Amino acid sequence: MSAPAEAMHQVAVHKTELLLFFTLIQLSVIVLAGRIGGALALRFGQSAAVGEIIVGILLGPSLFGWLAPDLFAYVFRSSAPEPMQILSQIGLLLLMFQIGLEFDFGHLTEKRNRTAVTRVATAGLLLPFALGAGFGYVAAPLLNPGANAVASALFIGTAFSITALPILGRIMIEFDLTKTPLGVIAISAAAINDVVGWLLLALVTTLTVADFSGPDFALKVLLVAVFFATSWFAVRPALKAVIRWTQRQESQGFRLNNNLLGIVIAVIFIAGMTTFQLGIFAIFGGFMMGVILHDEHDLVAAWKERIGHFVTVFFLPIFFTYTGLRTNVGGLDSLAAWGWCALIIALATAGKFGGSYLAARSCGLSHHEANVLGIMMNTRALMELIVINVGYDLGVISQQTFTMLVLMAIVSTVVTTPGLRLWLPKIGLAVPGKPVRA
């Protein structure tokens, strides 16, 4: 190797090592902060994910960058952002697969309280979407200048209408609500909201990417429909056959061995690449692969045990921090901006909580039962963050609107646990650490 070539090689190696150094600093800070945030949230009676979301926001310019700008710049701005962005997206892809695995479609055919489920799901979807879309369209010239007003309206409407099924499920387990009639109604309605919500997000994304061109949009919808059909009718049976084949080689029951794990991960990535090529985000491919395997209960349990914890501990805080780096609460630097933020939170709550409450009351549920349903359906958390990150990446919501929607996601999730502690005793259900009111 010539002297100039060797010098260039050394420079390249040094740059790579330097990039690795700063990436490891960031990962160390993010993972440890995520654990601390989760532990503190649990101590305050919140879900661990709530603490991880808040810590992710605090690691951004909203607090860390404000209190220690030089140190913040050293940790998060000293190297190119691409490694963290890629890790965030890989983690989100795996997380969406995991969310797909957790779907229990048995809730969607539950006969008990079917009328209540249908009404709550419908009202909890349509009313917040209408309020969000109406607000987004009217406020677009002020909050999202330069963006397509219809696209902004559709994304804000979708953000308003989503319910965080995984977080809600964990909260319900903590309060022992999964077997109660009210719990069945809530989780079933949330499942319907999520199915429709993700389909709606895919549709809105496709429409935006197609630049509202009728023929382009129709073609993309057709291609996405072909992908969904192929996944269900071709990839699903093929994967099930692979699972059966790998397990025949095991002598001690089901085991997620290295071969099967490698195949599943490769399929997730291929599905992500496919949906990206179709013009929608890679996360939809990961989600679809989880959905088609949701009834492989041994695989689901093994994935959660072997991979799920790593995704939750390592990848999920990266996504929250990635969102936090895009969030700047200090950017809401006027009374008018905070007024818009308060209006977003109020409209989102009125739509989801109010719609679910009114639907529950129309089915004969009591005032307090309807309150419980409304507060559970209003939980947004992670799902909301995914939606608004997609909208931000597409340029249809501004950085300031992004921050407002992040705050809305946090508020709607934080109030869930106190609301349940307040209203559950009033309908005769015990909560941890609180006696049932006679």
Contact 316, 125 (CB under 8 A): no
To the question of domain 83-427 being in CATH 3.40.640.10, the answer is no
CA distances from 269 to 90, 188, 298, 386 (A): 9, 30, 22, 18
User: What number of residues does the chain have?
Assistant: 438
Residue 357: CA count within 13 A, CB half-sphere: 14
Contact 272, 287 (CB under 8 A): no
Count, in order, helices (H) and strands (E) of the chain: 22, 0
Q: What is the pTM of this model?
A: 0.80
Which residue has tokens 């799901």?
A: 121
Kindly state the tokens that stand for 39: 């532990």
Domains of the chain by residue range: 3-82, 83-427
Closest Cα to residue 144, out of 322, 313, 391? 391
pLDDT tens digits in sequence order for the chain, 438 residues long = 665 656 555 666 678 899 999 999 999 999 999 999 989 988 887 877 788 888 988 999 988 999 999 999 999 988 888 888 899 889 889 988 987 887 666 655 556 567 888 899 999 999 999 999 999 999 999 998 888 899 999 999 999 998 887 778 778 777 878 777 888 788 788 878 877 887 788 888 888 877 777 787 788 778 888 998 999 999 999 999 999 888 877 767 677 888 899 999 999 999 999 988 887 778 888 888 998 998 898 899 899 888 988 988 898 888 888 888 888 888 888 999 999 999 999 999 999 999 999 999 998 889 999 999 999 999 987 778 888 988 898 889 999 999 999 999 999 989 998 899 889 899 888 776 554 343
Which DSSP state fits 234? I
d(CA 294, CA 103): 6
d(CA 128, CA 126): 6
